[in-house]
Chains A and B, each alone.
Chain A
Amino acid sequence: MAIEWLAKLIPLFPLLACLITLVFGARYLREKSHYPVVFGCGLSALCSLILAFTVASNQTAEEPFQTVTVYQWLALDPVAEPLAEGAAPSSAAPALTPPVNFSISLRVDSLSAIMLSMLTFVATLVAIYASGYMHGDRSYWRFFTCVALFVFSMIMLVLSASFLQLYMFWEAVGLCSYMLIGFWYEKPEAAAAGKKAFLVNRIGDFGFATGVFLIWVTFGSLEFQQVLNPEVVAAVFRAKPEMITWICVCLFTGAVGKSAQFPLHVWLPDAMEGPTPVSALIHAATMVTAGVYLVARCTPLFILAPEARLLVSFVGGVTALLAALIALTQTDLKRVLAYSTVSQLGYMFLGLGTGLASGIAGGMFHLVTHAFFKALLFLGAGSVMHAMGGVIDMREFSGLRRLMPQTYRTFLIGSLALAGLVPLSGFWSKDTILSAVHEASHGPAAHAGAAHADSEHSAEAAAEPNVAPEPKLLGVSATSLYTLLFWMASFTSLLTAFYTFRAVFLTFWGEEKIPHAAGHHAHESPPVMCIPLWILAIGAIFLGGLLGHPTGIFDGFLARTIPMVGEGHHGTDWYVVILSTVCAVTGISVAYFMYGLPSKLPEQIATAAGPLYRASCNKFYLDEIYRVLFVLPILALASLSRLLDWSLIDGLVTGVGKLPGVAGRLPRPIQNGLVQFYALAMMLGLAVLLWVLVIKQG
């Protein structure tokens, strides 16, 4: 009962806030437009926390989730009761297809509770921060309306109980993202970035939609209750195993688009044209993690598709490395963070792809901790940008640590967490993922079909030992691939520490340099912006240790919802711990020597590594490659189609379209207004009908 009410209230508050700012914002609220949104998100965060605790205390293994139906558009059983009685014997057979149900329902379980708590908490802080950051903007109310709409859509996405609803709100958050990236639409870059984000996401969404269609065709239902039910999935798997793989690949394509994974990651860095709170909330903490959430939600499908899982891990690992390499040389502080987000999202997919309990829990855990420290870093960057009069190029300013002590300290905490230093939260979550990958690289005994949560299937596997050969991707066996991925991930964590601290040293260390745009009043941000920074910083420090490995709270909580492959091993993998700590420390030290101390090293290295340096600077020319490979041919095709459309199709369509008009003109003379003629026409009509039915049939 309590859960039902809470689940309904959580999306309600942001929705109300959105409506209030939409209706009253422009005329009455103006500079106070943030109040409804802050309160809406705050109340919703409160409810989410209560919900998480309720779920934690209530849930039993028998009832791992609860579905709350908010509104039923239409839900009727195919069998109509009054007619079934006293009729043919076929009524005895029950309907094979499950009842079709178009409803908006909320699914509450530990996974959605975790996502909700994180989402609403960060959203509240960002809304408070934004009330300072956006102060004086002439579309102040529009900003908060969009933010509230986004929070509502994201909450509904997370609470969705069917793929249809998920898809609907998946598009809704995409729309909000588009509106907020292009918030300053007078700027051509912002408008272009919004468009790019929208278009690139279409590619992913096409895959997602295909996945949803396949699910409908295969399962005959879109309800999670039906599709993600391990027994049902196992039955479908026995019938057509390759279908599950295809579904997973399609769904993952959607996740790749939304979560900015290679090769569809190109939109996220450009999305930094939007206001910084938006970057923090949507493009770091919440919306981009929707893809991760989708894959985690569909775990029951993914555990039966080892090839698809390998693909997830592989794409994740490659993205993590690639984005980290690009981040090394970027000079725009927000873009460094954007590539870092892409890279960290890659980590999450890497963990999810292993299919191990520790990997999935690690991926989700990294999602939560990352939301805190990345939102913190973005808000810190926003604080810098605020003070520097909108300049965010790290070559234009330096030595800000004395000018902006609060921002500096919180940013440093965020950087340490991102670098993965003990005992900050980033360490725990990243370590879990690395351990899982390390475990996966030890061979098939530890992963794949050997120990499915679904007992039925594992029994089958035991009967036929060779039923699940080791999955391969492009001819490479899973074991060697995971070994490769493990080293890639470890190297990435070194790079992460390096580029993060490069940004810290360039921005806050060295001599004090302030760009002209900042004028003479460069100052620390107001408390309304600094307090959220500190709250996030506290989260970034303690969250990992509190919920992660040392206590095991997070894993235990999550494990109730998601059936996982393998029991996972809960001990600490000291090998990984030491390796990742060494990586982090090395990265930080190298950054210190290159950028913390005055030296000529960076220039020398840049010259020495000439082509590589330029490739990283130019994001490996991916935008240019896409332009030549996809954009230009599509534009050419578009012009051709337009020509054809004009000359050929339009002619045809207008021709056919004129038919009814012509047909209508023919009998017009009959409609002559003479009553005797009307009576005659009626009689004639009657006569013709009689002739057809009586005379013709004899």
Chain B
Amino acid sequence: MQTTFLLLLPQTVVALQAALFILGGTFPIPARRWGPLALVALLLGGAALHYSSGLDIAADATQTLAVVRTPLTVGFQWATLVIGALLVLLSMQSQSASKSAAEFYGMFLLMLAGLMLVAVAGDLILLFLALELISIPTYVLLYLGRNDYASQEASTKYFLLSVFSAAILLYGFAFLYGLAGTTQLEGIRLVLSQAYKSSVAGTPNASGSVLGVVALVLITAGLGFKMAAVPFHFYAPDVYQGTSAFNAGVLAILPKAAGLVALIRVGAETMVGFETTGQQLTLIVAAITMTGGNCLALLQTNVRRMLAYSGVAHAGYMLIGVAVGFWESWNPALRLEQTTGPLAFMGLPSGVHASLLYLLAYSLTSAGLFGVLVYLARPGKQVEHVDDLTGLAKTQPLVAIVAAVFLFSLAGIPPLPGFWAKLSVFTTALSVRQETADSLAAVHPAFVALAVIGVINAAIGAVYYLRLISAMFLNEPLSTARPAGGRAALVSVYCAAVLVVLLGLIPGPVFHYLQQPARAAAVSATPAVGVSPAVSSR
């Protein structure tokens, strides 16, 4: 019990401060103070995280808890705090004169606490709570963004559809609980592996039960909404377009990260026995998400709408890694082949780790790119159309270069992180092997097809990113109004640029970090059959 609280200390600290912010909003504190205070709050969160990650807790102790702690979850929380800080810097100027600055930052901090909670949640209920901790403040944030009809329409739309998807997700969780009789993820895994793995000595029952399949599809659908995966993406373009650039940036990063991590945790890591289904499901969703997002992005002239579709496409790339993750949890032996074979050259992360790398690269780059949009907003007018960016190289050369770096990274041009991310995702898809009549390890045609679709999509994606770059660099500016985003936003953009370039040039440490096992105790090879499912007692 106490351990749980200690492990949840960072989330608690951030969430408590968020409550203080909302409370403090009623006091006459100048609006411009809240931004720096939010940074301090994140700093305290970081201190708490440093403390709790340094605690010495036995590995097996965490198995019975609702919370997990691995090096990866700690890293994820750090990344959340850093990106949170970048976003806070971004919003400082616009919130410095706002009446609702305290509420704004309070909500934002709550979202960050929620995302950090998603990373560590080891229990279905806690996970759902964490996801709602992200969703509910988002509604408020969207509503606080702008005071016009478009904004209100956007937030209403998001609210309705988000609630709808939460219901689907909960429905899926309910099925899963019905199947396993426990809400604890480690417990579910043990139950499922007993039920489906040991039944036929060693050979996993590929289809699992129908109940499980339904649960998996429902969960994927519910989380797919958060990731903006096709066909659950419909809200994204409308909402991004209707809200402010900052809110669009928040929506593009935080829910997507939460959705991906939750899907990895509940799907690829927990649902033993449903690998084939999970693999097929994510394969299909990944393929249509990539293709749909990119094709639709090609037609857009509104920048935020275009970035919304581009975000959809990126969710598709991330799902490739999840699909491989399902396969990996089925074939721990072949996984070794994958990390030592010829395709594993350079030690690129594989499977879900490739997805996490993609997420990191995407989040940093998106934070920077939306930051550029925030910075370039003019008084009373946001960056809407591609025309608002033309000739940027002439008026704001440094910002244009930085924006080009972000766009190049999203397009996957080496040596930027987007390149490493795409390379890892495609490599890991190509390294999937299957047993056939002729060979023990033949390439898996479906995954090869997926990689090919991914590469074609990368080419399509490059078109609209490069179109934006060419507009910025090759055309004459249409107006010379000064950007009104403020100096803090510029600092945030430059910080993001530095991080992006560094991650691209020195990816080794991150790769090494991602090579660490995802689960606290990698005991999956020998499931303790004797352990009863009643480990959920906390």
Partner pick for B231 among A77, A80, A668, A681, CB 8 A cutoff: A681
Question: How many Å from the CB of B172 to the closest CB on chain A?
Answer: 10
Question: Does A79 sit within 8 A of B, measured CB to CB?
Answer: yes
Count of A interface residues, CB-CB < 8 Å: 45
Known A-B contacts A82-B515, A675-B161, A678-B235; A686 and B336 likewise in contact (beta carbons under 8 Å):
no
Residues in A whose Cβ lies below 8 Å from that of B277 = 693, 697
A102 and chain B: residue at smallest CB distance: B346
Question: How many Å from the CB of B286 to the closest CB on chain A?
Answer: 13
Question: How many Å from the CB of B452 to the closest CB on chain A?
Answer: 15
Contact B164 A679 (CB under 8 A): yes
B345 and chain A: residue at smallest CB distance: A100
The dominant DSSP class at the B interface is: helix
Question: Does A83 sit within 8 A of B, measured CB to CB?
Answer: yes
A679 to B332, CA, bound (A): 39
Question: Does B368 sit within 8 A of A, measured CB to CB?
Answer: no
Question: Does A649 sit within 8 A of B, measured CB to CB?
Answer: no
Question: Does A655 sit within 8 A of B, measured CB to CB?
Answer: no
Contact A678 B161 (CB under 8 A): yes
Contact B339 A80 (CB under 8 A): yes
Question: Does B237 sit within 8 A of A, measured CB to CB?
Answer: yes
Question: How many Å from the CB of B418 to the closest CB on chain A?
Answer: 15
Residues in B whose Cβ lies below 8 Å from that of A88 = 333, 336
Question: Does B78 sit within 8 A of A, measured CB to CB?
Answer: no
Stretch at the interface among B123-131, B135-143, B210-218, B430-438: B210-218
Stretch at the interface among B16-24, B100-108, B292-300: B292-300
Residues in A whose Cβ lies below 8 Å from that of B232 = 682, 685
Residues in A whose Cβ lies below 8 Å from that of B165 = 682
Contact A693 B281 (CB under 8 A): yes
Contact A80 B347 (CB under 8 A): yes
A573 to B220, CA, bound (A): 85
Contact A79 B298 (CB under 8 A): no
The dominant DSSP class at the A interface is: helix
Contact A668 B337 (CB under 8 A): no
Question: Does B238 sit within 8 A of A, measured CB to CB?
Answer: yes
Question: How many Å from the CB of A674 to the closest CB on chain B?
Answer: 9
Question: Does B44 sit within 8 A of A, measured CB to CB?
Answer: no
B457 and chain A: residue at smallest CB distance: A660
A664 to B310, CA, bound (A): 13
Question: Does A661 sit within 8 A of B, measured CB to CB?
Answer: yes
B415 and chain A: residue at smallest CB distance: A73
Q: Which of B285-305 contact A (CB under 8 A)?
A: 285, 291-292, 294-299
Partner pick for B347 among A77, A86, A679, CB 8 A cutoff: A77
Contact B336 A661 (CB under 8 A): no
Q: Which of B137-179 contact A (CB under 8 A)?
A: 156-157, 160-161, 164-165, 168
Residues in A whose Cβ lies below 8 Å from that of B336 = 83-84, 87-88, 90-91
Residues in B whose Cβ lies below 8 Å from that of A686 = 168, 217-218, 221
Contact B340 A678 (CB under 8 A): no
Question: Does A467 sit within 8 A of B, measured CB to CB?
Answer: no
Contact B460 A684 (CB under 8 A): no
A697 to B209, CA, bound (A): 11
Q: Which of A49-94 contact B (CB under 8 A)?
A: 72-84, 86-88, 90-91
Question: Does B508 sit within 8 A of A, measured CB to CB?
Answer: yes
Contact A682 B221 (CB under 8 A): yes
Residues in A whose Cβ lies below 8 Å from that of B512 = 76
Q: Which of A643-698 contact B (CB under 8 A)?
A: 660-661, 663-665, 667-668, 670-671, 673, 675, 678-679, 681-682, 684-686, 689-690, 692-694, 697
Contact B164 A682 (CB under 8 A): yes
A678 to B161, CA, bound (A): 8
Size band of the interface chain B makes with A: 35 or more
A90 to B335, CA, bound (A): 12
Contact A689 B295 (CB under 8 A): no
Partner pick for B280 among A84, A668, A693, CB 8 A cutoff: A693
Question: Does A95 sit within 8 A of B, measured CB to CB?
Answer: yes
Question: How many Å from the CB of B454 to the closest CB on chain A?
Answer: 14
Question: How many Å from the CB of B107 to the closest CB on chain A?
Answer: 22
Contact A693 B231 (CB under 8 A): no
Known A-B contacts A87-B332, A686-B221, A690-B214; A681 and B525 likewise in contact (beta carbons under 8 Å):
no
A76 and chain B: residue at smallest CB distance: B347
Known A-B contacts A80-B515, A86-B525; A660 and B335 likewise in contact (beta carbons under 8 Å):
no
Contact A91 B156 (CB under 8 A): no
A83 to B268, CA, bound (A): 18
Contact A694 B214 (CB under 8 A): yes
A81 to B517, CA, bound (A): 11
Partner pick for A682 among B161, B220, B284, B332, CB 8 A cutoff: B161
Known A-B contacts A682-B231, A689-B217; A675 and B346 likewise in contact (beta carbons under 8 Å):
no
Contact B339 A100 (CB under 8 A): no
Contact A74 B295 (CB under 8 A): no
Question: Does B516 sit within 8 A of A, measured CB to CB?
Answer: yes
Question: How many Å from the CB of B298 to the closest CB on chain A?
Answer: 5
B525 and chain A: residue at smallest CB distance: A86
Residues in B whose Cβ lies below 8 Å from that of A693 = 213, 217, 277, 280-281
Contact B294 A675 (CB under 8 A): no
Question: Does B342 sit within 8 A of A, measured CB to CB?
Answer: yes
A90 to B433, CA, bound (A): 16
Question: Does A97 sit within 8 A of B, measured CB to CB?
Answer: yes
A665 to B508, CA, bound (A): 41
Question: Does B507 sit within 8 A of A, measured CB to CB?
Answer: yes
Contact B221 A689 (CB under 8 A): yes
B158 and chain A: residue at smallest CB distance: A675
A62 to B506, CA, bound (A): 33
Partner pick for A671 among B214, B234, B340, CB 8 A cutoff: B234
Contact A79 B299 (CB under 8 A): no
Residues in A whose Cβ lies below 8 Å from that of B47 = none
1/0 per position for A359-400, CB-CB distance to B under 8 A? 000000000000000000000000000000000000000000
Question: How many Å from the CB of B269 to the closest CB on chain A?
Answer: 16
Q: Which of B192-224 contact A (CB under 8 A)?
A: 207, 210, 213-214, 217-218, 220-221
Contact B294 A79 (CB under 8 A): no
Residues in A whose Cβ lies below 8 Å from that of B238 = 671, 673
Q: Which of B325-378 contact A (CB under 8 A)?
A: 332-333, 335-337, 339-340, 342, 344-347
1/0 per position for A170-194, CB-CB distance to B under 8 A? 0000000000000000000000000
B229 and chain A: residue at smallest CB distance: A685
Question: How many Å from the CB of A391 to the closest CB on chain B?
Answer: 44
A78 to B515, CA, bound (A): 12
Contact B168 A79 (CB under 8 A): no
Partner pick for A76 among B160, B210, B346, B415, CB 8 A cutoff: B346
Contact B508 A74 (CB under 8 A): yes
A73 to B346, CA, bound (A): 11
Residues in A whose Cβ lies below 8 Å from that of B213 = 693-694, 697
Residues in B whose Cβ lies below 8 Å from that of A694 = 210, 213-214, 217
Q: Which of A133-149 contact B (CB under 8 A)?
A: none
Contact A682 B234 (CB under 8 A): yes
A81 to B512, CA, bound (A): 10
Contact B337 A90 (CB under 8 A): yes
Besides the known contacts A72-B506, A74-B511, A671-B237, 12 further A-B residue pairs in the complex with CB atoms under 8 A apart: A73-B415, A75-B508, A79-B340, A86-B525, A95-B340, A664-B296, A668-B299, A673-B238, A679-B160, A686-B168, A693-B213, A693-B281
Going nearest first, the 9 A-B pairs with the smallest beta carbon separation are A76-B347, A685-B231, A664-B295, A678-B234, A663-B295, A660-B295, A80-B339, A686-B221, A87-B336
The 29 listed contacts between A and B (C-beta, < 8 Å) are: A73-B415, A75-B508, A76-B346, A76-B511, A76-B512, A78-B346, A79-B339, A81-B515, A83-B335, A87-B333, A88-B336, A660-B460, A664-B296, A664-B297, A667-B292, A667-B296, A668-B299, A671-B237, A675-B157, A675-B160, A679-B164, A682-B221, A682-B225, A686-B168, A689-B221, A689-B285, A693-B213, A693-B277, A697-B277
B contact residues vs A (CB 8 Å cutoff):
156-157, 160-161, 164-165, 168, 207, 210, 213-214, 217-218, 220-221, 225, 230-232, 234-235, 237-238, 277, 280-281, 284-285, 291-292, 294-299, 332-333, 335-337, 339-340, 342, 344-347, 415, 460, 463, 505-508, 511-512, 515-517, 525
